[in-house]
Amino acid sequence: MSTAFETAFQDLASEPQWNPAWLRDLRQRSYDRFIETGLPSRRDESWKYTSTRSLGEASFGLSKNASISRIVVERLSVKDAHRLVFINGVYNEEFSILPSDVSVVALSEAMKTERDLILPLLGENEDILAVLNQAFFSSGVMLRVKKNTKVQKPLQFLFLQSQEAAATGAIISPRNIVFVESGAEVHIVESHFGQTQHFTNAVTDVFVKDQAYCQYLLERSIGPETRYVSKHSFHIGRDARVETFNLALGGKLNRSHLEFRLTAPGGSAKLDGLYIARGDNHIDNVTEVLHLAPNTSSTQLYKGVLEDKSRAVFNGKITIVKDAQHVDAQQLNKNLLMSPDAEVDSRPQLAIDANDVKCSHGASIGQIDEQELFYLQSRAISREDAKAMLASAFVGDVVGRISGKHFTKHVQDVLQSFGSART
């Protein structure tokens, strides 16, 4: 296992610009810890249904050539949006288009000016893949939306791979930190569209301060050999609101872990998701909602469509600590199996230590209804088209829950292009 990342780590050591002394030290400690612990195994609760074998058996390099054509950037950009472009995980200023009312600083620079703020964040990870990210992370950004600023246009974090990274199967380790200061408002879409056999291991922290609002669309529409793992932590302040939509399409390993820390009264989180797997795809969704303060609320609807021999996991945990009274927490996971060989494991979990809370959760796994299928077919619609219509009807309500005007059409377009790529 240790050999999978060894070459990449040696390569990294020869990159002086990424290795000031403090960083070199952090990387080495993280790498040592990772080697000692190893990749997560099925004995690990949150990895019970997901194998990391495809990571352990590979040999990842490090891509240093970050050239990419502008055409690719433009093609994958959300229309009428600002964007931060990352190539092989490294922030690229040239292709980025920034709004005037946010500040963006490369993490390596931010470490010089806001070291006390950032270093603790980097240091205290429990998650072993986040530790691996720490060993490798290249220059991500610290983005700050200033107090009471409402950023009108959406902001896209666009993650791209150079051809070299794609060809060699590189490990790509984005690390970003977002501050939405009090009273501010921002709409972010984080996009991963890679189709090759690289491995993305991303870690993001989002601080949504008092009375602030953050909409966050995390989308991965990735290839059958592409591996993606991420951890996002949302730190939600008093009367702050976070709305996430987690779109996962395709992937050999496509795992997201979204953590929501409701740290002060009045905070709320809406976390919805849609995953569609086919072929041998494996999609794993972990959601973790921590109600750490009274009068906080969370609602989540995750829907999955599984075709062929694909597999998916939904692992949703809601924790309500003692004294977090008057919490309202809801969770629902629904799955549609399009094939007898597809499989899903759904594990909703509640851990409640407060006594005056409103909490509900549920999960369902169903199949295409033969009566519905026959009805559509009897109206001249082919069986394949009828199935696609029923699957699209199944996901319609969760897509309909996306707030505001910015992302609904975009998500529909991404879904359509994923659908039409079916062979």
Partner 1 sequence: MLNIENLHVRVEEKEVLKGLNLHIKAGEIHAIMGPNGSGKSTLSKVIAGHPEYTVTSGSITYDVNFRPKNVLEMQPDERARNGLFLAFQYPVEIPGIPNVEFLRAAFNAVCKHQGVDPMETKAFDAFVREKAKMLEIDSSFLDRELNVDLSGGEKKRNEILQMAVLNPRLALLDETDSGLDVDSLRIVSEGVNKLKTEDNAIVMITHYHRILNYIKPDFVHVLADGRIVRSGDVSLALEIEDRGYDWLLN
* Contact status: 368 vs partner 1 (CB under 8 A): no
User: By C-alpha distance, which of 182, 178, 179 is closest to 148?
Assistant: 182
DSSP state of 78: P
Q: Which CB atom, from 371 or from 423, has the smaller least distance to partner 1?
A: 371
Q: Which stretches of 161-263 are assigned E, i.e. beta strand?
A: 171-172, 175-180, 185-192, 199-208, 213-222, 227-236, 241-250, 253-262
Smallest gap from Cβ 371 to partner 1, in A, equals 5
* Contact status: 370 vs partner 1 (CB under 8 A): yes
Token output for 211: 């009375």
Q: Which CB atom, from 325 or from 377, has the smaller least distance to partner 1?
A: 377
What's the rounded Cα separation, in Å, for the pair 111 and 114?
5
* Contact status: 328 vs partner 1 (CB under 8 A): no
Number of residues that bind partner 1 (CB under 8 A): 22
CB 320 within 8 A of CB 327: yes
User: By C-alpha distance, which of 253, 243, 355 is closest to 294?
Assistant: 355
Q: Which CB atom, from 15 or from 413, has the smaller least distance to partner 1?
A: 413
Q: Which CB atom, from 363 or from 390, has the smaller least distance to partner 1?
A: 390
CB 266 within 8 A of CB 294: no
What's the rounded Cα separation, in Å, for the pair 300 and 287?
9
Residues for the chain: how many in total?
423
Q: Which amino acid is at 229?
A: V
CB neighbours of residue 384 within 10 Å: 9
The contact mask relative to partner 1 for 197-216 (x = CB under 8 A, - = no) is: --------------------
Q: Which CB atom, from 378 or from 423, has the smaller least distance to partner 1?
A: 378
Q: Which CB atom, from 109 or from 397, has the smaller least distance to partner 1?
A: 397
Smallest gap from Cβ 280 to partner 1, in A, equals 28
Smallest gap from Cβ 364 to partner 1, in A, equals 14
Reading phi first (left if > 0) and then psi (alpha if -120 to 50, else beta), residue 354 is in beta
CB 364 within 8 A of CB 350: no
Backbone φ and ψ for 159, nearest 5 degrees, come out as -100, 120
Given the rule CB under 8 A, which of 228-236, 252-260, 321-329, 382-390 is the region that contacts partner 1? Answer: 382-390
The contact mask relative to partner 1 for 118-157 (x = CB under 8 A, - = no) is: ----------------------------------------
CA distances from 40 to 201, 286, 364, 384 (A): 14, 14, 27, 38
What's the rounded Cα separation, in Å, for the pair 264 and 342?
41
* Contact status: 412 vs partner 1 (CB under 8 A): no
Report the residue from 42, 79, 147, 383 that binds partner 1 according to the rule CB under 8 A. Answer: 383
Smallest gap from Cβ 392 to partner 1, in A, equals 7
Report the residue from 355, 380, 420, 423 that binds partner 1 according to the rule CB under 8 A. Answer: 380
Smallest gap from Cβ 422 to partner 1, in A, equals 18
What's the rounded Cα separation, in Å, for the pair 297 and 294?
9
Token output for 255: 């795992």
Q: Which CB atom, from 106 or from 389, has the smaller least distance to partner 1?
A: 389
Smallest gap from Cβ 407 to partner 1, in A, equals 19
The contact mask relative to partner 1 for 384-403 (x = CB under 8 A, - = no) is: -xx--xx-xxx-xx------
* Contact status: 408 vs partner 1 (CB under 8 A): no
Report the residue from 330, 377, 403, 412 that binds partner 1 according to the rule CB under 8 A. Answer: 377
Smallest gap from Cβ 99 to partner 1, in A, equals 35
* Contact status: 378 vs partner 1 (CB under 8 A): yes
* Contact status: 420 vs partner 1 (CB under 8 A): no
Given the rule CB under 8 A, which of 6-14, 69-77, 99-107, 373-381 is the region that contacts partner 1? Answer: 373-381
Burial 209-247 (b: 16+ CB within 10 A, else e): bebbbbbbbbbbbbbebbbbbbbbbbbbbbbbbbbbbbb
Given the rule CB under 8 A, which of 105-113, 151-159, 198-206, 366-374 is the region that contacts partner 1? Answer: 366-374
Given the rule CB under 8 A, which of 8-16, 115-123, 289-297, 370-378 is the region that contacts partner 1? Answer: 370-378
Sign of CA dihedral 236, 237, 238, 244: negative
* Contact status: 106 vs partner 1 (CB under 8 A): no
Contact positions vs partner 1 (CB under 8 A): 370-372, 374-383, 385-386, 389-390, 392-394, 396-397
